[in-house]
Chain A
Amino acid sequence: MLPDETVVRTTLSGVTQAEVSTSTLGVVVRIPADDASSALAALKASSLDFIMLVDLLGTDTGEEVEITYHLRSLTRDEDLYVKCVLPYEGVLHSVWNVYASALLPERETAELFGLTLAGHPNPARLLTVDDTEPLLRRSVAIRTLEEVRDR
């Protein structure tokens, strides 16, 4: 179910610049990346009761990396998507003290998109060995047929 856009706007009004809209995904809030932690804390503490961070993912839009936080309220059965953008070699500030479920997904997102993780208890790489390129960026190509055939 979709949360009430007005309530979301009022919750975030004192905290950050928020653009709230509805798309195929649901209700999407766009905020500046620096305010992610405080915005999520405000949403968690509000009457909307977003108790769980279901998912955290990054998307390479071609110009920057867009981080999506997928929040859910179990009591009201509502989902909210909070998005912010970071430059390519930017710094991802951890939200683990708001939602502990961000711990491993943040490490993974930072590693696969080439971001630096800040404020995290263990900002090391999760999935790949050192010196691996940021594999989920669109600029990193997959192997070609020739490369595979001549293995």
Chain B
Amino acid sequence: MTDPRDTVLTHALQAEGTYDSGKAPAGIRRIPRGVDGLATEHLVVNIGPQHPSTHGVLRLVVELDGEEIMNAEVAVGYLHRGIEKLGEHRRYHQLGTLMDRGDYVSGIHGELAAALATEQLLEVEVPAKAQWLRSLMSEINRVASHLVWYGTFGLDCGAMGQFLYAVRDRENLLDILEAVSGQRMMFNYVRPGGVVADLPADAEQKLRTFLRTIDGYLEEHDALLGGNEIFQKRVRGVGAIDRTTALSFGLTGANLRCTGVPYDVRRDKPYAAYEELQFDVPLGSTGDAWDRYLVRMEEMRQAVRMIRQCIDGLPEGDVMAKVPKVLRPPAGEVYACVESPRGELGVHLLSDGSDTPYRFHYRAPSLFAMQVLEEILPGQLLADAIMLIGSVDVVLGEIDR
């Protein structure tokens, strides 16, 4: 029995008067029809690099069987700008400017990693006030970065309102960051030896005003997205990563903690003032997207808790150690890492004694989160794939470097 759709197609071709019926013209490929008459063929679809939900210029090539993903391949490199190569031609205090543009959403953490690596080579001690300011700015940046994640994660699931609320709160944070460092995004604030400037007079006031309302706003955000049944149904139980997979793929940060592995660089390899701050490290259990959501929301609350402690406990003193203007660390190799909002952000620095590094390598947590996507996407629906890209929180600037 002929498929009625075939007949319609044939009629349309006949009506044009150009082709014989029953003979497909060259260039039109008949879709193979399976046993039950349905067209069954795996479709290879390209997502990105221009796409509303790819968090930058990520390209995913997926092989689809209907809506289900059979195979996914990640294609990156659309933002490869040579951060590592250019690091070999910059002075040590300029490495922060390169790191700022790597993970551009959490600039302070990148700068801090580069500064810590240089300080390890120089064996210089950073004054206490600078350590506390570093922690303060890191936690402010963490909330700002998680707000970007929260806003865009909701967008990936189809929600639009939370994005504007997230940007509203982020603007307040950027005001504070701008008051302290002079820039909204490329702070250039943390340098080897300390930080570049003390808090200005109005910064504390701005911070206290912000802290008065942020707890309420964070509850609102959680209720808006997390309390929404549709969001929960989309996110609970989807994209579960188990501990072994997470560890073997090199995941760190919230992506690792959602599986239950309690590793946090701030607590296990403390830097800046984290040894003196009280904070909890939220852990998930099932490793699905819902656990990642909960872990990051709680990280925001803990970050606010740390911001309060930092302002209340800020010591007196210098903000920068006595370091020469042109840094020439002795030859050696070091690795320094920080807990960025995406995971363990590391800088592997090799010095040859001159004023520029010999080798500057950026260990990007998003690169490893990207790898695990290739592992967990097969078997998911396409819509869930978009949601999962959002749930692992990648920033393309640091993947491509």
Across the interface, which residues of A come within 8 angstroms of B335, CB to CB? 25-26, 55, 70, 79, 81
Decide yes or no whether A118 CB sits under 8 A from chain B. Answer: no
Bound form: Cα–Cα A79–B265 in Å: 13
Instruction: Given A54-B344, A99-B250, A128-B77, decide whether A59 and B371 contact each other with a Cβ distance below 8 A.
Output: no
Which residue of the partner chain, among A55, A103, A135, contacts B348 with CB atoms under 8 Å? Answer: A55
Residues of B within 8 A of A77 (CB): 268-269
Give A54 Cβ to nearest chain B Cβ, in Å: 6
The verdict on B303 contacting chain A, using a C-beta distance below 8 Å, is no
Beta-carbon contact of B400 and A127 below 8 Å: yes
Write the nearest CB–CB distance from A104 to chain B, whole angstroms: 5
Q: Is A136 an interface residue (CB 8 A)?
A: yes
Partner of B86, one of A26, A68, A126, A142: A142
A103 touches B371 (CB 8 A): yes
| A53 contacts chain B at the CB level, 8 A cutoff | yes
Given known A54-B346, A127-B80, contact A23–B89 (CB-CB < 8 A): no
Residues A53 and B261 in contact, CB atoms below 8 Å apart: no
* Chain A contacts for B333, CB-based, 8 A: 23-25
Name the residue on A nearest B81 (C-beta): A127
Q: Does A51 contact B (CB under 8 A)?
A: yes
Which residues of A114-151 have CB atoms within 8 Å of chain B's CB atoms?
A: 122, 125-128, 135-136, 142
Say yes or no for A101: interface residue by CB 8 A criterion: yes
State which residues 44-66 of A face B: CB under 8 Å.
51-55, 57, 59-60
Bound CA span A128–B400, Å: 10
B247 touching A51, Cβ below 8 Å: yes
Chain B 249-277: CB-based contact to A (< 8 A → 1; otherwise 0): 11000000000010100001100000000
Minimum CB–CB distance for A138 against chain B, Å = 8
**Count of chain A residues with Cβ under 8 Å from any Cβ of B?**
32
* Chain B, Cβ-Cβ closest to A105: B367
Q: Which A residues lie within 8 Å of B74 (CB)?
A: 104
How distant is the Cα of A135 from the Cα of B76 in the complex, in angstroms?
A: 16
Give the residues from 115 to 133 in chain B that come closer than 8 angstroms, CB to CB, to chain A.
Answer: 120-121
A80–chain B nearest beta-carbon distance, Å? 11
CA distance A142 to B88 in the complex (A): 10
Question: What is the interface residue range for chain B against chain A?
Answer: 35 or more
Instruction: List the B side residues contacting A53 at CB < 8 Å.
Output: 250
A55-B346, A100-B371 known; A74+B85 contact, CB < 8 A? no
Q: Which residues of A contact B346 (CB under 8 A)?
A: 54-55
CA distance A142 to B89 in the complex (A): 9
**Would you give the 0/1 interface string for B363-383, flagging 1 where the beta carbon is closer than 8 Å to chain A?**
100011011001100000000
Are A25 and B250 also in contact (CB < 8 A) when A74-B261, A127-B80 are?
no
Which A residues are CB-close (under 8 A) to B89?
142
- Which chain A residue shows the least CB distance to B332? A24
The listed residue with most A CB atoms (<10 A of its CB), out of B261, B332, B367, B370, is B367
Measured in the bound complex, the distance between the Cα atoms of B399 and A126 in whole Å is 11
**B367 near A74 (CB under 8 angstroms)?**
no
Known: A24-B121, A25-B333, A25-B334. Contact between A55 and B76, CB under 8 A? no
CB-based contact A70/B348 at 8 Å: yes
| B68 close to A (CB within 8 Å) | no
Pick from B85, B248, B268 the residue with the most CB of A within 10 Å. B248
Known contacts: A59-B350, A127-B80, A128-B80. The answer to whether A54 contacts B363 by CB under 8 A is: yes
Q: How far is the CA of A104 from the CA of B77 in the complex (A)?
A: 12
Residues of chain B with a CB closer than 8 A to A59's CB: 350, 358-359
Complex contacts, B121 vs chain A, CB 8 Å: 24
**Contacting residues, chain A, for B248 (C-beta < 8 A):** 51-52, 99-101
Bound-state Cα–Cα, A126 to B59, Å: 12
Q: How close is A124's CB to chain B, nearest CB, in angstroms?
A: 9
Known contacts: A53-B250, A57-B348. The answer to whether A127 contacts B334 by CB under 8 A is no
Partner of B250, one of A52, A68, A79, A122: A52
Q: Closest CB-CB distance, A25 to chain B, in whole Å?
A: 4
* Chain A CB within 8 A of B84 CB: yes
Residues of B within 8 A of A105 (CB): 367
Which B residues touch A74, using CB under 8 A? 247, 261, 263
B271 to chain A, nearest CB (A): 15
CB-CB under 8 A from A99, the residues of chain B are 248, 250
Q: How far is the CB of A117 from chain B (nearest CB, A)?
A: 15
Q: Which 5 A-B pairs have the closest CB atoms?
A: A101-B250, A127-B77, A24-B332, A127-B80, A25-B333
A99-B250, A101-B249 known; 15 new pairs, CB 8 Å cut-off, are A24-B333, A24-B334, A55-B250, A55-B346, A57-B359, A57-B363, A59-B358, A100-B245, A100-B371, A101-B248, A101-B371, A104-B368, A104-B371, A127-B76, A142-B85
